[in-house]
Structure 1
Amino acid sequence: MITKIKNLINEYRSNHKYIKSKLHEVQLQNKELEWAHIFHDSIRGKEWLEELPLNVGRWAGNYSFFYILNRILNDFQPKAILDLGLGESSKFISAFLNNQLLESLHTIVEQDADWVANFQKTNSLSQRSKIVCCPLVTTEVNGFLSNVYKDFNTKIIDKFDLIIVDGPFGSDRFSRYDVVSLIERMEATDEFIILIDDTHRKGEQDTLHDIICKLKVKKLAFSIGQYHGTKSNTIIATKKYKLATSL
């Protein structure tokens, strides 16, 4: 009898955990639908964005990501953009360069030369969008293995006022850590926005933590904004771009 009661209790706990997990999933999906409406409202009147063939979600950014990206590009008009990972965000930024950001430069870092060739067969980027191919390598970060771009620090030497972190392939811990080397080069007078995708994951949370620590050491004043749908996105912005954290 006692064994039967224990089994029933364990079954109840398991079912409760499952139901709770499913309810959370439904809440996130509902939030994502809300972000989809907000995003489409935010690009209304810009035919060049409304007609842009954009694949949202899955490996690409979700609707909260593209809403934030749209607002940053529209409201703050960055002049030098670094885009880690060739894909939907690259198409989106390139459309802005061709139609609104007529003096801005866009550097894309991509790990896979085959993907670059395949992408270019069906997509046309702005003449001011430059692709830099940095193959994927594995390095040790704080005792964990992490995927990073080979020769990133020698190929990417400029300063940027918008950095989008959506590549390379994610790692379980200290994911997409190349951005930290950019922070190490920054000076107290630099002004910038960093948009990090997938910060619901532990690996990206590790990297976000280290970015914050290094900015504090450099005494760089900054603000943080977080946006949640089916995935989470985080903005880190210096004083000049503080409003980007509350879009």
Structure 2
Amino acid sequence: MISKIKYLYKKIVKDPFKNFELNTIILSQTKELEWAHIYHDSIRGKEWLEKLPLNVGRWAGNYSFFYVLNRILADYKPNRILDLGLGESSKFVSTYLENYLLHSTHVIVEQDEVWLKQFENRFELCNRSSIIHCPLEKVIIKDFESNSYKNINDKIKEKFDLYIVDGPFGSDRYSRYDILNFVERFEENEEFIIMMDDTNRLGEQDTLKDIIICLKKKNINYFLGNYVGNKSLTIIATTKYKFVTSL
């Protein structure tokens, strides 16, 4: 990552007026490098996390994502966790269940059955982590086509303390809108944390706005926090968990 920053800096020096975009990129990469150090400091002493083979970034969560997830699991000990999208976060949460959250349960939703089988061949989840296969389907949200988990409402009826939103595949508009199905079930006294990844993108911003509208209609007091590296994570938390928005 450091070599990439040096390369971008040299391009900016050559033409500073035409490289505003490069300035933005190098700033985000620098922030990501800082988050990497913060993350590694936060797991120090947890040997089971230090040894976990974790692929950070690209399609998976970035370092700010895993730092915040680590703090939530360690500090707040959620009992029921919903994980939309099978991947690195699933490994991370399941490892916590195996070593620290000894009474918590973890439900993972995955769209791709081939990827599901490949994952299970490479990584053994805790027996309190379960996977539900919901194939991908196209739905129309406010005149825009969006990816959705088929029949997710019928397959998952319970409520959760922590909602990790990193699936299904992103859409140009109203991305990962399935989380609204769960938000619409919330009651006024509900306590929860929602981790919405990739909120630097327009599609996730659409969905985030509608989550907030829904919470206001239900008179649910909420707090927002943004964590920015080479992409953005937004946290929505109720009063019980409000300090997670400023870790």
TM-score (norm. length: structure 1): 0.93
Give 1:34-183 correspondences, 5 Å limit.
34-183=34-183
- Mind listing any 5+ residue stretches in structure 1 that lack a counterpart? 1-14
> Does the alignment pair 1:185 with 2:185?
yes
Alignment partners' CA distance in 1, 2:164 and 2:18? 35
1:216 maps to which residue? 216
How far is the alpha carbon of 1:43 from its aligned partner? 0.2
How far apart are the structure 2 equivalents of 1:17 and 1:108?
47
Instruction: Name the CA distance, whole Å, in 2 between partners of 1:204 and 1:244.
Output: 20
Specify every segment of 5 or more residues in structure 2 that has no aligned partner in the other structure, as ranges.
Answer: 1-14
- % of aligned pairs identical? 61
Q: Cα 1:17–1:203, aligned 2, differ >3 Å: closer, same or farther?
A: farther
Provide the secondary structure at the position in 1 that maps to 2:119: helix
Per the TM alignment, residue 101 of structure 1 is displaced from its structure 2 partner at its CA by 0.2
For 1:17 and 1:188, the matched residues in 2 are separated by 51
Counterpart-to-counterpart distance in 2, 1:38 and 1:233: 16
Matched to 1:194, the amino acid is I
Shift of 1:111: 0.2
Deviations 1:41-92 (A, max 9, x none): 0000000000000000000000000000000000000000000000000000
Shift of 1:16: 5.9
What is the SS of the residue equivalent to 1:185?
coil
Q: Take 2:143 and 2:217, find their aligned partners in 1: how far apart are those partners?
A: 22
Aligned-partner SS, 1:146: strand
**Displacement, 1:237?**
0.2
- The one-letter code matched in structure 1 to 2:48 is W
Alignment RMSD:
0.8
Quote the offset at 1:18 in angstroms: 4.2
Structure-1 separation of matches of 2:91 and 2:76: 19
Could you report, residue by residue, the CA deviation over 1:137-194 in whole angstroms, capped at 9, with x for unpaired residues? 0000011000000001000110000000000000000000000010111111110000
Q: Name the CA distance, whole Å, in 1 between partners of 2:128 and 2:85.
A: 17
SS at the partner of 2:52?
A: coil
SS at match of 1:137: strand
Query: What is the distance in 2 between the residues matched to 1:17 and 1:183?
Result: 45
Give the 3-state SS of the residue equivalent to 2:184 in structure 1. helix
